[in-house]
């Protein structure tokens, strides 16, 4: 057998997911033909898949040394460099791959993902747009562009991209989850509920979806339905701080304050960097009449984000409740002034949105 025969055998074995056999055949092809650039490239891809990253880098370098215009080798090395967190090196290689093969939609899409991670939002958007123009059926590009549009506050545009992604891949539960979230942000509660229902139908073991559907049900005053969804979410994903925080509000509605506190404390334990959960605990404590403890949590939340509207609203309420029981006129006036300042700031922030 000649080198090309081993190369072709490797391709067949790779298609059958027989990785070790494919590796042996690539090795033999290179042994018989040491200047076989394509074999080095494909072996580099295989080594990347098998997590031999340094070995893959050596193979891609060799392929490019042997054949400077092999676009696939730059493409493969770019993917590898991204995996190795060498984003700048990956961009350079994707640039070269695109120069050599300007019609490769996947290269634009993958370069766009790196630009997005590097906070080059405009560059990422341009690459996603080009990827879709070149390959209108590239599901991943629509999905990635929807994330970017949401970050840029183009919620409707993000939903439209997910519509296209779902049309291309109707069994993508993740697309339904993301679209459901975006619809809920747009106050399309019915549409969001339908998307969460579909996501659960497609992937009934993913706890995250139950938690977000539970949030919607609570918004619709379906307290029992919300509790059932949060319970399922926590059972399937016990480390989900969001679910504990959401169920805390269910218990708050049920006036079961101790369980509400237990759940919000668990949320904070699981994700102590999320100031939203401190706001939740502040609201629960305020409802329980523990105003000074509530104020500590609300102050902490605002120390992390002094423009966080829910905490401004809650702290204003807390100041007013404290003022109601304050006997000292000067202190009462000070508390009312603080409440008014928080209310004014919250209203201003709401208007900007």
Whether residue 339 is contained in a domain is answered as yes
Q: Is residue 158 part of a domain?
A: no
Which CATH number does the domain housing residue 40 bear?
1.25.40.10
Question: d(Cα 54, Cα 135) in Å, to the nearest integer?
Answer: 32
Q: Of all residues in the chain, what percent are helix, strand and coil, respectively (each to 5)?
A: 80, 0, 20
Helix 121-134, helix 105-117: angle, nearest 10: 160
Q: Does some domain include residue 211?
A: no
Interval 213-228 mean pLDDT = 95
**Average pLDDT of the chain?**
95
Tell me if 344 sits within 8 A of 307, measured CB to CB. no
> Residue 6: its pLDDT value, please?
85
- Mean of pLDDT values over 55-67: 96
The model scores a pTM over 0.75: yes
Which residues constitute the domain of residue 24? 1-102
Domain count, the chain: 2
70 contacts: CB under 8 Å, gap ≥ 6: 37, 38, 41, 63, 64, 100
Angle, CA 102 vertex, CA 127 and CA 93 arms, to 5°: 70
Where is 323: in which H helix or E strand? helix 309-325
Share of the chain above pLDDT 90, in %: 96
Per-residue pLDDT at 104: 94
Consecutive H or E run containing 150: helix 139-151
> Is the distance from CB of 164 to CB of 152 less than 8 angstroms?
no
Domain boundary among 69, 102, 135: 102
Does a structural domain hold residue 32? Answer: yes
Please check whether residue 166 lies inside any domain of the structure: no
Work out the angle between the directed axes of helices 257-270 and 275-287 (0-180°, nearest 10): 170
Residue 341 lies in a domain: yes
pLDDT attached to residue 353 = 66
**pLDDT bracket for residue 5 (50, 70, 90):** confident
pLDDT at residue 330, as a whole number? 94
163 Cα distance to chain centroid: 18
Residue 120 lies in a domain: no
Q: What does the pLDDT look like over 67-99, one tens digit per residue? A: 999 999 999 999 999 999 999 999 999 999 999
pLDDT for 251: 98
Which of 102, 127, 159 corresponds to the end of one domain? 102
The answer to whether position 141 is within a domain reads: no
Of 102, 127, 152, the domain-final residue: 102
**pLDDT tens-digit series, residues 269-325:** 999 999 999 999 999 999 999 999 999 999 999 999 999 999 999 999 999 999 999
Give the pLDDT confidence score for residue 200 in this predicted structure. Answer: 97
Token pair 């992390």: residue: 304
Q: What mean pLDDT is predicted for residues 149-165? A: 96
- Which strand (E) or helix (H) includes residue 134? helix 121-134
Position 1 scores a pLDDT of: 84
């Amino acid at each position: 057998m000649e080198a090309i025969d081993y190369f072709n055998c490797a391709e067949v074995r790779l298609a059958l997911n027989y990785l070790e056999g494919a590796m042996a055949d690539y090795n033999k092809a290179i042994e018989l033909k040491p200047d076989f650039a394509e074999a080095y490239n494909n072996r580099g891809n295989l080594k990347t898949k098998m997590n031999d990253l340094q070995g893959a880098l050596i193979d891609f370098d060799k392929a490019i040394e042997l054949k400077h215009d092999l676009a696939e080798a730059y493409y493969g090395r770019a993917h590898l460099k991204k995996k190795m967190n060498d984003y700048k090196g990956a961009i350079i290689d994707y640039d070269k791959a695109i120069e050599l093969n300007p019609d490769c939609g996947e290269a634009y899409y993958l370069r766009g993902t790196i630009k997005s991670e590097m906070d080059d939002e405009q560059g990422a958007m341009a690459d996603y747009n080009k990827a879709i123009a070149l390959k209108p059926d590239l599901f991943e590009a629509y999905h990635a562009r929807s994330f970017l549009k949401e970050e840029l506050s183009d919620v409707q545009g993000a939903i439209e991209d997910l519509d296209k992604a779902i049309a291309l891949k109707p069994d993508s539960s993740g697309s339904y989850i993301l679209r459901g979230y975006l619809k809920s942000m747009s106050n399309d509660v019915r549409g969001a509920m339908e998307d969460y229902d579909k996501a659960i139908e497609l992937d009934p073991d993913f706890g995250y979806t139950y938690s977000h559907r539970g949030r919607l049900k609570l918004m619709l005053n379906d307290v029992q339905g919300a509790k059932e969804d949060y319970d399922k979410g926590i059972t399937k994903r016990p480390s989900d701080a969001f679910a504990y925080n959401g169920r805390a509000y269910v218990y708050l509605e049920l006036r079961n304050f101790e369980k509400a506190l237990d759940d919000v404390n668990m949320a904070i334990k699981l994700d102590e960097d999320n100031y939203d959960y401190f706001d939740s605990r502040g609201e629960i404590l305020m409802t329980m009449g523990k105003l000074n403890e509530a104020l500590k949590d609300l102050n902490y939340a605002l120390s992390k984000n002094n423009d966080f509207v829910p905490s401004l609203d809650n702290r204003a309420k807390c100041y007013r409740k404290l003022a109601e029981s304050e006997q000292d006129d000067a202190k009462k006036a000070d508390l009312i002034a603080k409440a008014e300042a928080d209310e004014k700031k919250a209203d201003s922030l709401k208007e900007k949105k």
